[in-house]
Amino acid sequence: MDRWPYSHSCAGLIGLLLAVTAVAQGPKTDNGTYVPQQPLPFDPYRNLGPDGTTVVKPELPQDVPNPDRWRYTPAGRIKPGNPIERFLVSTWIAPVIFREEDIGFGGGFALTDLDFRNQQWQEFANIVATASAEGQQRFRFNWRRWLEHRPIPEGGIIRDERSTLSAGAEYTRTLTRRFFGFGSRTRETNETSYTEERATAGLLLLRSFPDPGDDLLYSLRIGFEHHGLQRGRVSDVPSTDAVFATDFQDGDGVSQFWLRAGVAYDTRDSIANPYSGWRVGAAIDAVPVQTGLDGGLIASVDARGVLAVPPLFHDGGSEDEDNPPTDVVTFGGFVQSTAGDLPWYSLPTLGGDDTLRGYIQRRFTDRAAAHATVEYRFAVVPRGIRFTDTIRFERISTALFYDFGTIAGRLGRFDRAKYLDSYGVGLRIGLQREAVFRIDFGISDEDRILSIAFGNNF
């Protein structure tokens, strides 16, 4: 369903939780049972300014290393109760409704719980479930835990966003995957379609070293994927198995065991929504074992930077704000190269929510890719919007972006590849500094794409 970007990425956007209604537990007694703690009275204005959206900067304990790198959640945003009681405060649900000729009418939900299991915003969980009349399906669960997390005397909690443990599992049956062949010069008329049944599971550790908030980062990931392929269901384009028969056959029924190791030097003040600093990093995504094929890997290097610029529609905030409105110019890019043997759907791609946003998902595929983006983000509602005492947006911003890149059979062929680009405008809705919903409208010489996602693209 890649042709309808809203429904494709809305499920990857605000998604998740509700089925879980666990409540916080108290201390254990000698016999191993839990004694419920008496909750403190909830004050939706605690640690917030008089407008109800500005967060007052807290006094952090002196033993906190790299205090500028810790994110703060005020007590006024940590509402107690189950996900239903916290709805639109720390639990969000987005209905997903779609209709397309090739997949039929469908729908579902995407639900996000920012305070999973009521642990003072130490865990996040996400559930997506959609299905269509013709049999397209998607079920996903994601979970994350912040490893450096602590309450502070002023009320609320602080956490180091550079130290997390994440896990997830997903099953999808997509009837309308597209494949255009290899290289940067494939045309729209090269489009083919296939049906993909895909199951994945993985575990990711991200850590700063040696202390919380330090510049040096490392990441480790293990994962499993299984891919089953069938004929495409798009009525007006040929099936991939008829046009790329060998590649299709080699990719059908493949199970893969993935290992990832990455390291970066990152001086940015935030990895989720930075206002200053830069980063350089490298990573290896290896497949030592896969069905019917030898092993392979993808090596990548990346660089990113961000500069604060003079504000357009606000005064830049004050020193007592935890997250003052800040306009920035951000830029970043990466280079990827493949070694060994990988099926075509595991190779580097461009196009979609995060790269060449004016093209559909996975529009260009090959064994090496290079991509860069520059984006200007400026606040248009710098102090946010308060709907009720507990329902509020911290900030609304606009973004102007330009993406460019190319793809080739190997690194040495970039000079012979076609230059690709797209541009557009986006909206950023900030619930807090770490939690940003992104809506982008990308334009290219082929298409106009609306995408919705959670978090900045880089």
Please state, rounded to an integer, the average pLDDT across all residues of the chain: 88
Most confident of 36-45, 84-93, 228-237, 282-291: 282-291
Tokens of 362: 């996975």
Binning pLDDT at 50, 70 and 90, where does residue 457 land? Answer: confident
- 274, exposed or middle or buried, with CB in 10 Å at 0-12, 13-18, 19+? buried
Question: Is 81 or 200 the better-scoring residue by pLDDT?
Answer: 200
Q: What's residue 268's pLDDT?
A: 97
| Per-residue pLDDT tens over the stretch 416-456 | 999 999 999 999 998 888 888 899 999 999 999 999 888 89
Over range 360-385, report the average pLDDT. Answer: 95
Over range 372-393, report the average pLDDT. Answer: 87
Tokens of 27: 């201390």
Binning pLDDT at 50, 70 and 90, where does residue 31 land? Answer: very low
Question: Is 6 or 130 the better-scoring residue by pLDDT?
Answer: 130
In contact, 407 and 369? CB cutoff 8 Å: yes
Tokens of 428: 């950023």
11 has a pLDDT exceeding 60: no
Most confident of 36-50, 150-164, 254-268: 254-268
Over range 234-240, report the average pLDDT. Answer: 92
Over range 297-309, report the average pLDDT. Answer: 98
261 has a pLDDT exceeding 90: yes
Q: What's residue 423's pLDDT?
A: 98
In contact, 164 and 147? CB cutoff 8 Å: yes
Question: Is 383 or 314 the better-scoring residue by pLDDT?
Answer: 314
CATH of the domain at 255: 2.40.160.50
Over range 183-205, report the average pLDDT. Answer: 96
Q: What's residue 100's pLDDT?
A: 79
User: H or E element: which one contains 298?
Assistant: strand 296-309
Query: Which amino acid, one-letter code, is at 28?
Result: K
Give CA–CA dist 448/451, Å, rounded: 10
Query: Which amino acid, one-letter code, is at 117?
Result: R
CA torsion sign for 36, 42, 48, 52 is: positive
Tokens of 62: 């002196």
- What Rg, from alpha-carbon coordinates, does the chain have? 23
Backbone dihedral region for residue 84 (phi beyond 0: left; psi -120 to 50: alpha; all else: beta): alpha
41 has a pLDDT exceeding 80: no
Q: How many domains does the chain have?
A: 1
Tokens of 435: 């939690």
Question: Is 8 or 171 the better-scoring residue by pLDDT?
Answer: 171
Least confident of 16-30, 112-126, 141-155, 305-319: 16-30
Give CA–CA dist 391/395, Å, rounded: 13
136 has a pLDDT exceeding 90: yes
Q: What's residue 57's pLDDT?
A: 86
20 has a pLDDT exceeding 80: no
- Residue 261's φ and ψ, nearest 5 degrees, are -135, 130
CA torsion sign for 118, 120, 123, 129 is: positive
Binning pLDDT at 50, 70 and 90, where does residue 7 land? Answer: very low
Over range 276-294, report the average pLDDT. Answer: 96
Binning pLDDT at 50, 70 and 90, where does residue 332 land? Answer: very high
Over range 215-236, report the average pLDDT. Answer: 95
310 has a pLDDT exceeding 90: yes
Over range 38-50, report the average pLDDT. Answer: 71
Query: Which amino acid, one-letter code, is at 200?
Result: T
For 256, the domain range is 5-27+35-454
328 has a pLDDT exceeding 50: yes
| Per-residue pLDDT tens over the stretch 75-117 | 888 888 888 888 888 888 888 888 877 888 999 998 889 899 9
Q: Give the bridge partners for 350, in sequence order.
A: 364
360 in helix, strand or coil?
coil
Q: What's residue 164's pLDDT?
A: 97
User: H or E element: which one contains 241?
Assistant: helix 240-243
276 has a pLDDT exceeding 50: yes
Percent of the chain clearing pLDDT 90 (strictly above) = 68
Q: What's residue 40's pLDDT?
A: 54
In contact, 83 and 113? CB cutoff 8 Å: yes
DSSP E strand boundaries for 74-191: 91-100, 104-113, 123-132, 137-146, 149-151, 157-160, 164-179
34 has a pLDDT exceeding 50: no
Query: Which amino acid, one-letter code, is at 74?
Result: P
Q: Write the secondary structure of 212-226 as one string of H (helix), E (strand) and C (coil).
A: CCCCEEEEEEEEEEE
Least confident of 164-168, 320-324, 334-338, 394-398: 320-324
195 has a pLDDT exceeding 80: yes
Q: Give the bridge partners for 278, in sequence order.
A: 305
Percent of the chain clearing pLDDT 70 (strictly above) = 91
